[in-house]
């Protein structure tokens, strides 16, 4: 019990208590200065969210973002890890270099991506238009509801490959070398090895990564906030969290913000439980 | 082609692919570095250049020379180090319980703890603030406690996997010798899990070092502020000294990089011992 | 089933939480179930956990978002105030503008508030509506005398439901900036004075091949087109703020946006306003944008970034009615309702509006709100054009739902630029949305 106590106290005080408080807010039209004057509205905030087209769009954006970034980060992360797992000169250097984006500040790199994707004179347009001649005229990336997501997604992939790679690398190193030796003796080529040894044995690592990355993706906030100015154009580019933040701190609609957070948390919890079940099954 | 040259050829191909990928990965980093050396007038020059026309150290001198930069740096270091130690201690104790002890409802309790890594922290700021006000914690202690609380879920999750992989025979031997659970935890489990703990250290240190939202609302005394807040203050409503922001951010990266380099040997090994069981 | 067990466990955990909370709560807090303990404690809590003793000397907390240079000057103002008011100390805390509202709201929600604060003029009615601010008329001594000398536009931003919840601390407005060398290269010598001229010059100074534009706006949020909108006679609501129909979609408002949309369609208004293009300040200095409309801070920005660039200001061109206009910006000073030091905080707020304090802040570019300081030799020369413009500049709608209204107009502007709707259709929709916000 002594082992549980410090963690439990801290967790209850700064996590469960606040969670309960948020839950309460979500059922009210909340008055911040005089909470006692708040008006109980039942599930109205939740209903409002579910029927709000801006919220629905934010959900779609967040899902698309999560699916794309998780899949690409997994594939590229695994490729990098496979390469870094070999006896190559400068291995440590490559590891540190690929990990570098993970520790950079979101604010700074969001700004950099905006700069590179500048619609009138940015680097990306220059490469696409003047160098590769793929587009006839400059693209205003941030003026379009779909194109805006391109730099946001690329940023997340750029920043996340290193982390996925390091975790995969760890998983790879736990695979006994003897297995590969035996396969080689049997005449299996590297593709077969990848298919029948590496991939199955990486199962638990893969599911772990999926759980953590999906949670991170569904909770995306900073890159959306900074690169869309909170939903531009036309409130079509919100993520669930930027919408929650705008409702709470922009429009002082605390109840609505709390309801959105609870919907998101509930969804994340269910998804994670499913993933954890899968993880169990694969591990056993 | 004989076997050896085939292998060399393979190596060259792989190195080339890695280097190409590295180019893409490092391009924004390169921009970050050159921006910090550009004079304010050319920060976001368009079209962009890969090599600045003028190099200057002014941004570093101005950013680091700001009255309290050193103090903010130390504040951040103190908060990050203590949060990290506390998280390691608390998470490993929790993980020990979840990995080794048996009691009713253990799994459910574990899932409740897992909830902690799924909730967006922004959602909890106001109630956490109320708790902090109630306990009079608008200071570094408040930051440390909240950072620890927000981190224990994921790190406990990680460490539980690590502890489950420690062979049980060692403990049984200790139990026979009359060792308490505490001895087992302290003498056997922890020393054997050092790699997993490195992972926790890197994760938590990074989180506490760059956390912004809570530090922004919870610290009122300007001499107690942390580095991310100080860097945000380089931006005023109409004019932002981006060169200084970039310079300061690069300097702020150094401790995290050092922590990563120190612990990365364990890191690679460490994650593999998490066992990754749900 | 499992869900049942989960429910039981959650419940038992809450009980554990309760015990723990009760155990570590300070003696004064009631021992109750956890949710209640956590949720109601802040409401019940009355003790002020500040170090300062509650009797004399009072230490005031004052929050703001001044820049470095302004904050340094503010320290001088504080020193002067403290010298004149022994027993009151002022501690100022600076916040980054983008995170300021969050910090304030979080503080307000728990009652751990600063005593006074400098707020964006667009927030005062919103905060007042929540009950976060102290009503100043009837409470602050000499209130009438103080506000009698302030400009009416900035003053009006402090009114909510017929009472004053703040005082105009500093003000600004936007005027036309024209790049002289671009003008001269085209054989022009002066800035346009009417909107008709403005539209013609904008296209004359546009060169599609060189990708230079006659005019650029920073975005589609209302602040950007507001000067043109008001100068063209545009209105968002009626005087009493009861309806938007017939105002935001009235003939003058539609004409204003139609002019901008036409300029955009002709390629004379830079597309950067839709996001992710060349910034207006840099573009103007480099000649990409011949004209922009912006505020007095541009002087400092150009001094820092383009030391050799000659900044030229002119009044916003007049609309068809022959009058110029623009939009009022700036900040107000407010006293927080939960402050324990009301009297001292009001003294401080009043001092900030004294000619002495206003003059001190003017030296770092903060335009005074006192009419009596117009033409004062202590004012920087470039204030003149802004102070002239302020005579006709209008405040945005002082209403708690302003940010939503802003968003409605912003979206309307975007829809018409993209060609999804005509200006009339877009503004009709905005009118309906704003009417809903006004509770119609």
To the nearest whole Å, the CA of A167 is away from the closest chain C CA by 32
Domain with C239 in it: 175-326+401-437
To the nearest whole Å, the CA of B125 is away from the closest chain C CA by 8
pLDDT at C306: 86
pLDDT at A76: 94
Asked if C313 and C408 sit in the same domain, the reply is yes
Euclidean distance between the first and the last CA atom of chain B, given in angstroms as a whole number: 48
Evaluate whether residue A200 is within a structural domain: yes
What residues pair up with C91 in beta bridges, in sequence order? C61
pLDDT at C335 > cutoff 60:
yes
Evaluate whether residue C282 is within a structural domain: yes
Cβ–Cβ < 8 Å for C38, B130:
yes
In total, how many domains does chain A have? 1
Of A87-91, B146-150, C271-275, give the lowest mean pLDDT range: A87-91
CA distance C417 to B84: 51
pLDDT at A108: 85
pLDDT at A282: 62
Q: How confident is the model at residue C260 (pLDDT cuts 50, 70, 90)?
A: very high
Question: How do the domains of chain B map onto residue ranges?
Answer: 62-272
Q: Kindly report, residue by residue over C69-82, the tens digit of the pLDDT.
A: 899 999 999 999 99
Domain with A193 in it: 36-283
Q: Which residues of A touch C207 (CB under 8 A)?
A: none
| Chains contacting A (3 or more CB pairs within 8 Å) | B, C
CA distance B85 to B155: 12
Span C404-430, mean pLDDT? Answer: 95
Q: Kindly report, residue by residue over C337-377, the tens digit of the pLDDT.
A: 999 999 999 999 999 999 999 999 998 889 999 989 988 88
Q: Closest residue of C to A38, CA-based? A: C130
Burial of C347 (0-12, 13-18, 19+ CB in 10 A): buried
- Tell me which residue of B123, B116, B274, B105 sits closest to B200, measured CA to CA: B274
| Chains contacting B (3 or more CB pairs within 8 Å) | A, C
The DSSP bridge pattern shows strands C213-216 and C289-294 to be: parallel
pTM, 2 dp: 0.86
Q: How confident is the model at residue A1 (pLDDT cuts 50, 70, 90)?
A: low
pLDDT at C55: 52
Asked if C373 and C431 sit in the same domain, the reply is no
Span B50-63, mean pLDDT? Answer: 86
The DSSP 8-state label assigned to residue A36 in this structure reads G
- Tell me which residue of A7, C191, A198, A73 sits closest to B25, measured CA to CA: A73
Evaluate whether residue C78 is within a structural domain: yes
Asked if C180 and C164 sit in the same domain, the reply is no
Torsion of CA C138, C125, A34, C44, to 10 degrees: -60
Evaluate whether residue A153 is within a structural domain: yes
pLDDT at B2: 65
Asked if C303 and C351 sit in the same domain, the reply is no
- Tell me which residue of C95, A32, A30 sits closest to B217, measured CA to CA: C95
- Tell me which residue of C186, C227, C254 sits closest to C316, measured CA to CA: C227
Q: Kindly report, residue by residue over B245-259, the tens digit of the pLDDT.
A: 889 999 999 999 999
* CATH fold of B62-272: MetI-like fold (1.10.3720)
- Mean pLDDT score across all residues of chain C: 87
Higher pLDDT, residue C304 or C329: C329
Q: Which residues contact B91 (CB under 8 A, 6 or more apart)?
A: A7, B151, B152, B155, B156, B158, B159, B200
Evaluate whether residue A73 is within a structural domain: yes
Instruction: Name the strand (E) or helix (H) holding A190.
Output: helix A190-193
Of A60-74, B92-106, B263-277, C212-226, give the lowest mean pLDDT range: B263-277
Evaluate whether residue C29 is within a structural domain: no
Q: Which residues of C touch B62 (CB under 8 A)?
A: none
Percent of chain B surpassing pLDDT 70:
92
Distance of CA C351 to the CA centre of its chain: 22
Of B136, B216, B235, the CB nearest to C49: B136
Span B171-189, mean pLDDT? Answer: 79
Q: How confident is the model at residue C10 (pLDDT cuts 50, 70, 90)?
A: very low
Q: How confident is the model at residue C42 (pLDDT cuts 50, 70, 90)?
A: very low
Helical H segments across C149-297, by residue range: 152-156, 180-185, 195-204, 226-231, 251-265, 280-285
Asked if C413 and C269 sit in the same domain, the reply is yes
- The interface pTM score, or ipTM, of the predicted complex is 0.85
pLDDT at A84 > cutoff 90:
no
Evaluate whether residue A52 is within a structural domain: yes
pLDDT at B175 > cutoff 60:
yes
pLDDT at A168: 84
Q: What is the CATH number of the domain that holds C336?
A: 3.40.190.10
In total, the C-beta contacts within 8 angstroms joining chain A to chain B are 227
Q: Kindly report, residue by residue over A195-241, the tens digit of the pLDDT.
A: 888 887 777 678 778 888 999 999 999 889 888 887 888 889 999 99
Span C384-408, mean pLDDT? Answer: 92
pLDDT at A118: 87
Asked if C301 and C364 sit in the same domain, the reply is no
Q: Which residues contact A162 (CB under 8 A, 6 or more apart)?
A: A77, A80, A98, A99, A100, A101, A102, B25
Cβ–Cβ < 8 Å for B124, A22:
yes
Asked if C97 and C199 sit in the same domain, the reply is no
pLDDT at C264 > cutoff 80:
yes
Q: Does C36 touch chain A (CB under 8 A)?
A: no
- Tell me which residue of C134, C165, C123, C174 sits closest to C147, measured CA to CA: C165
Asked if C209 and C153 sit in the same domain, the reply is no
Cβ–Cβ < 8 Å for C103, C95:
yes
Q: How confident is the model at residue B277 (pLDDT cuts 50, 70, 90)?
A: very low
Asked if C213 and C183 sit in the same domain, the reply is yes
- Tell me which residue of C33, C426, B185 sits closest to A3, measured CA to CA: B185
Cβ–Cβ < 8 Å for B162, B273:
yes
Of B29-43, B232-246, C39-53, C121-135, give the lowest mean pLDDT range: C39-53
Q: Which residues contact A206 (CB under 8 A, 6 or more apart)?
A: A74, A171
Question: What's the CA angle centered on C266, arms C185 and A118, to 5 degrees?
Answer: 80
Higher pLDDT, residue A208 or B17: B17
The answer to whether B270 contacts A170, with C-beta atoms less than 8 Å apart, is: yes
Evaluate whether residue C418 is within a structural domain: yes
pLDDT at C56: 66
Count how many Cα atoms sit within 13 Å of the Cα of residue B263 in the half-sphere of its side chain. 24
Beta strands in A2-161 (DSSP E): 28-29, 39-40
Asked if C273 and C419 sit in the same domain, the reply is yes
To the nearest whole Å, the CA of C249 is away from the closest chain B CA by 31
pLDDT at B266: 65
Evaluate whether residue A25 is within a structural domain: no
The answer to whether C96 contacts B232, with C-beta atoms less than 8 Å apart, is: yes
- Tell me which residue of C405, C390, C388, C398 sits closest to C440, measured CA to CA: C405
Winning range, highest mean pLDDT, from C8-17, C300-309, C425-434: C425-434
The DSSP bridge pattern shows strands C167-173 and C175-178 to be: unpaired
Evaluate whether residue C394 is within a structural domain: no
pLDDT at A283: 57
Whole-Å CA distances, B231 to A166, B42, B225, C91: 29, 20, 11, 21
Q: How confident is the model at residue B3 (pLDDT cuts 50, 70, 90)?
A: low
Q: Does A84 touch chain B (CB under 8 A)?
A: yes
Q: What is the CATH number of the domain that holds A129?
A: 1.10.3720.10
To the nearest whole Å, the CA of B90 is away from the closest chain A CA by 6
Q: Mapped to the 3 state alphabet, what secondary structure does chain B carry? A: CCHHHHHHHHHHHHHHHHHHHHHHHHHHHHHHHHHHCCCHHHCCCCCCCCCCCCCCCHHHHHHHHCCCHHHHHHHHHHHHHHHHHHHHHHHHHHHHHHHHCCCCCHHHHHHHHHHCCCCCHHHHHHHHHHHHHHCCCCCHHHHHHHHHHHHHHHHHHHHHHHHHCCCCHHHHHHHHCCCCHHHHHHHHHHHHCHHHHHHHHHHHHHHHHHCCHHHHHHCCCHHHCCHHHHHHCCECCCCECHHHHHHHHHHHHHHHHHHHHHHHHHHHHHHHCCCCCC
Asked if C219 and C255 sit in the same domain, the reply is yes
Q: Which residues of A touch C126 (CB under 8 A)?
A: 252
Between A254-283 and A203-218, two packed helices, what is the crossing angle to 10 degrees?
170
Q: Which residues of A touch B113 (CB under 8 A)?
A: 7, 11
Of B177-181, B199-203, C251-255, C307-311, give the lowest mean pLDDT range: B177-181
Asked if C105 and C72 sit in the same domain, the reply is yes
pLDDT at C425 > cutoff 90:
yes
Of A6, A97, A167, the CB nearest to B22: A97
pLDDT at C439 > cutoff 50:
yes
pLDDT at A251 > cutoff 50:
yes
To the nearest whole Å, the CA of A144 is away from the closest chain C CA by 9
Of A265-269, B119-123, B149-153, C209-213, give the lowest mean pLDDT range: B119-123
């Amino acid at each position: 019990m002594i082992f549980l106590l410090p963690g439990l106290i801290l967790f209850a005080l700064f996590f469960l208590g606040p969670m309960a408080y948020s839950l309460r807010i979500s059922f009210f039209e909340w008055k911040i200065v005089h909470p006692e004057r708040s008006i109980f509205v039942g599930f109205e905030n939740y209903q409002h969210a579910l029927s709000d087209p801006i919220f629905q769009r934010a959900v779609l954006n967040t899902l698309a973002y999560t699916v794309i970034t998780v899949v690409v980060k997994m594939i590229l992360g695994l490729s990098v890890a496979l390469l870094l797992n070999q006896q190559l000169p400068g291995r440590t250097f490559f590891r540190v270099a690929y990990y570098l984006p993970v520790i950079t500040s979101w604010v700074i790199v969001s700004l950099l991506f905006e700069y590179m994707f500048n619609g009138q004179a940015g680097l990306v347009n220059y490469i696409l238009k003047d160098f590769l001649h793929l587009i006839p005229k400059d693209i205003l990336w941030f003026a379009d509801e779909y194109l805006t997501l391109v730099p946001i997604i690329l940023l997340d992939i750029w920043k996340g490959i290193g982390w996925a790679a390091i975790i995969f690398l760890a998983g790879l190193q736990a695979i006994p070398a003897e297995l590969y030796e035996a396969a080689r003796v049997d005449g299996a080529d590297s593709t077969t090895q990848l298919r029948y040894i590496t991939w199955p044995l990486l199962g638990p690592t893969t599911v772990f990564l999926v759980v953590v990355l999906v949670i991170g993706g569904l909770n995306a906030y900073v890159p959306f906030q900074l690169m869309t100015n909170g939903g531009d154009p036309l409130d079509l580019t919100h993520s669930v969290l930027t919408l929650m933040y705008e409702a709470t701190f922009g429009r002082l609609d605390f109840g609505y913000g709390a309801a959105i957070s609870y919907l998101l948390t509930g969804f994340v919890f269910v998804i994670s439980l499913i993933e954890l079940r899968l993880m169990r099954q694969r591990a056993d | 082609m004989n076997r050896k040259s085939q292998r060399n050829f393979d190596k060259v191909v792989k190195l080339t692919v890695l280097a190409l990928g590295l180019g893409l990965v490092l391009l924004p980093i390169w921009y970050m570095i050159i921006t910090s050396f550009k004079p304010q007038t050319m920060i976001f020059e368009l079209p962009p250049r890969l090599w600045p026309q003028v190099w200057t150290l002014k941004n570093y001198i101005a950013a680091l020379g700001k009255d309290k930069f050193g103090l903010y740096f130390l504040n951040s270091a103190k908060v990050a180090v203590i949060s990290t130690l506390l998280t390691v201690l608390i998470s490993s104790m929790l993980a020990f319980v979840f990995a080794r002890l048996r009691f009713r409802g253990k799994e459910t309790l574990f899932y409740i703890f897992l909830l902690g890594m799924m909730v967006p922290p922004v959602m909890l700021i106001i109630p956490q603030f109320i708790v902090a006000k109630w306990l009079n914690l608008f200071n570094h202690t408040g930051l440390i406690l909240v950072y620890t609380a927000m981190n224990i879920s994921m790190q406990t999750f990680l460490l539980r996997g690590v502890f489950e992989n420690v062979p049980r025979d060692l403990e049984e031997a200790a139990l026979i010798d009359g060792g308490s659970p505490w001895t087992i935890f302290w003498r056997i489990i922890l020393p054997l899990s050092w790699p997993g703990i490195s992972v926790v250290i890197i994760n938590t240190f990074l989180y506490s070092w760059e956390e912004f939202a809570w530090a922004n609302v919870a610290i009122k005394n300007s001499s107690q502020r942390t580095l991310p807040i100080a860097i945000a203050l380089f931006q005023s409503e109409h004019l932002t000294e981006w060169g200084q922001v970039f310079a300061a951010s690069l300097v702020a990266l150094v401790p995290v990089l050092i922590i990563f380099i120190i612990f990365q040997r364990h890191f690679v090994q460490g994650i593999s011992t998490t066992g990754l069981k749900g | 089933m499992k869900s049942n067990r989960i429910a039981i466990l959650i419940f038992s955990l809450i009980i554990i939480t309760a015990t723990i909370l009760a155990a570590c709560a300070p003696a004064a807090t009631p021992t109750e179930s956890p949710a209640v303990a956590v949720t109601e404690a802040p409401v019940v809590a009355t003790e002020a956990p500040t170090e300062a003793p509650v009797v004399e000397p009072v230490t005031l907390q004052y929050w703001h978002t001044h820049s470095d240079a302004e904050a340094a000057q503010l320290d001088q103002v504080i020193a002067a105030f403290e010298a004149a008011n022994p027993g009151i100390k002022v501690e100022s805390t600076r916040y980054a503008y983008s995170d300021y509202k969050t910090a304030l709201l979080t503080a307000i929600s728990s009652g751990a508030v600063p005593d006074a604060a400098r707020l964006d003029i667009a927030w005062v009615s919103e905060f007042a509506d929540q009950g976060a601010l102290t009503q100043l008329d009837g409470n602050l001594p000499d209130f009438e005398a103080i506000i009698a000398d302030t400009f009416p536009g900035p003053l009006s931003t402090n009114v909510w439901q017929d009472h004053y919840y703040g005082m105009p601390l500093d003000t600004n407005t936007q005027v036309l900036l024209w790049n002289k060398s671009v003008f001269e290269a085209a054989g022009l010598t002066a800035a346009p004075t009417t909107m008709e001229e403005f539209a013609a010059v904008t296209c004359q100074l546009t060169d599609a091949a060189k990708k230079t534009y006659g005019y650029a706006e920073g975005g589609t949020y209302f602040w950007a087109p507001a000067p043109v909108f008001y100068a063209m006679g545009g209105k968002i609501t009626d005087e009493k703020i009861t309806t938007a129909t017939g105002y935001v979609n009235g003939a003058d408002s539609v004409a204003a946006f139609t002019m901008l949309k036409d300029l955009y369609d002709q390629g004379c208004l830079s597309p950067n306003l839709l996001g992710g293009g060349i910034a207006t300040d840099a573009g103007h200095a480099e000649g990409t944008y011949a004209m922009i409309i912006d505020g007095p801070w541009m002087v400092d920005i150009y001094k820092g970034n383009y030391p050799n660039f000659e900044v030229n200001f002119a009044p916003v061109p007049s609309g068809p009615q022959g009058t110029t206009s623009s939009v009022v910006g700036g900040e107000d000073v407010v006293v927080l309702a939960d402050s324990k030091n009301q009297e001292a905080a009001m003294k401080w707020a009043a001092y900030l509006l004294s000619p002495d304090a206003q003059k001190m802040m003017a030296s770092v570019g903060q335009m005074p709100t006192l009419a009596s300081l117009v033409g004062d030799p202590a004012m920087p020369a470039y204030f003149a054009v802004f102070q002239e413009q302020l005579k006709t500049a209008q405040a945005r709608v002082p209403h708690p739902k302003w940010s939503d209204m802003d968003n409605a107009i912003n979206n309307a502007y975007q829809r018409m630029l993209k060609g999804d709707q005509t200006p009339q259709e877009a503004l009709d929709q905005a009118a309906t949305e704003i009417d809903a916000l006004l509770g119609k």
